Amino acid sequence: MTKLRLWILAASLTVITGCGTDASSKSEQVSIEPQKTYRWKLITTWPKNFPALGTAPEKFADSVRVMSNGRLDIKVYGAGELVGPFEVFDAVSQGTAEMGHGAAYYWRSKFPIAALFSTAPFGMTAQEMNGWLYFGGGLELWRELYEPFSLIPMPAGNTGVQMAGWFNREINSLADVKGLKMRIPGFGGAVLEKVGGVPVNLPGGELFTALQTGVIDATEWVGPYNDLAFGLHTVAKYYYYPGWHEPGPTLEALINKAAWESLPDDLKKIVEVANKAINDEMLAEFTARNNAALRTLIDDHGVEVRRLPDDVLAAFRSASSEVLEEASQESEIAGRIYKSYMDFYASVRAYHDISERAYINVR
């Protein structure tokens, strides 16, 4: 080997050795920072661990904890543990808690049109609501409405069509509704008032005592699965249907905007996906549990299940149109929300007349 070749080989080895030493020393100097852990509070309008409504936030928090490998740790508080059930909106808006779980019609006193993001009397079903929110522009309008309050809403559960409620007296005609004191929130309460009833807004945890003591004459809650758990059959004799007032009530997750923006993109996506999962799972749970609970109410407890008279339903339907029209005139955005809802409703209803409804009628 020539001297020139020996010199080139030696120089090459020196460069390689030097690079290796430099690279390893650099790797030793790099410190891997631990990933940040976010600890959130989630407050709800429901009693702690109440079937479906109360357990859904717990399942959501568990899913987020597992999917994030513990990086987003959410502690759930039931109604009254941290704030009152009807204080959830303000508490999350102010940052007292990073998240809340409730229903938009509870905040109707702030802006009546908000109730449309939960449910409307004689309005859309759960399936139709999901279509409007996810693919019909509803979610964008919902977030625009809540934006001044530094809140980001997401669909987070649905009960499906509810029952009309529990009554301590028979409803044989519209005359029996006059003066009736009934716990019924949202647009349903406004409709009841328009036909002569007296709506009362109470959290779920107070319904039993209010009905038992005569503070109210009737109450709606959800359906057999939840109503049986509350023991409402022990303080009211008559169980009426159909649930004209809540045909597809969407529940909501509320997220404080600053808390949301503090999350990295992967955790934001985990929260979104976990909420979608709970939105779907809750409806499946009610679908699976309601009929068995209804049989228990009828067979074991002698509950009388009755249909509301046609004249009562007709009066409710007429009043509902008036109530929604009035709410749409509250503001410019209320008008846009109302139009979006009604346009989508007309479209999806036309198709469902020859699909869902037609099939159910012939099966």
For the segment 173-211, what is each residue's pLDDT rounded down to a tens digit? 999 999 999 999 999 999 999 999 999 999 999 999 999
Q: Is 232 part of any domain?
A: no
Choose the weakest-confidence range: 22-31, 56-65, 298-307: 22-31
Q: Is 362 part of any domain?
A: no
Please give the mean pLDDT across all residues of the chain. 92
Q: Is 133 part of any domain?
A: yes
Q: Is 164 part of any domain?
A: no
The whole model's pTM is what?
0.89
Quote the CA–CA distance of 257 and 273 in Å, as a whole number: 18
Q: Is 68 part of any domain?
A: yes
Decide: helix, strand or coil at residue 38: strand
Quote the CA–CA distance of 43 and 46 in Å, as a whole number: 9
Pick the closest to residue 118 from 98, 102, 131 (CA basis). Answer: 102
Q: Is 114 part of any domain?
A: yes
- Residue 269 is part of a domain; what is its CATH number? 3.40.190.170
- Longest Cα–Cα distance in the chain: 116
Helices (H), 114-250: 126-135, 138-146, 186-194, 207-213, 224-230
pLDDT > 60? residue 4: no
Q: Is 69 part of any domain?
A: yes
| Count of residues making up the chain | 363
Quote the CA–CA distance of 52 and 228 in Å, as a whole number: 13
- Number of helical (H) and strand (E) elements in the chain, helices listed first: 13, 11
> What local confidence, expressed as pLDDT, does residue 26 receive?
43
The count of other CB atoms within 10 Å of the CB of residue 118 is 26
Mean pLDDT score, 246-262: 98
Separation in Å, CA 76 to CA 98, 104, 164 = 11, 19, 30
Q: Is 95 part of any domain?
A: yes
Instruction: Find the domain containing 270 and state its range.
Output: 38-158+248-287
Helices (H), 214-331: 224-230, 257-262, 265-295, 310-328
Query: What's the structural domain count of the chain?
Result: 1
Mean pLDDT score, 146-167: 98
**Banded model confidence at residue 33, pLDDT cuts 50, 70, 90:** low
**Banded model confidence at residue 25, pLDDT cuts 50, 70, 90:** very low
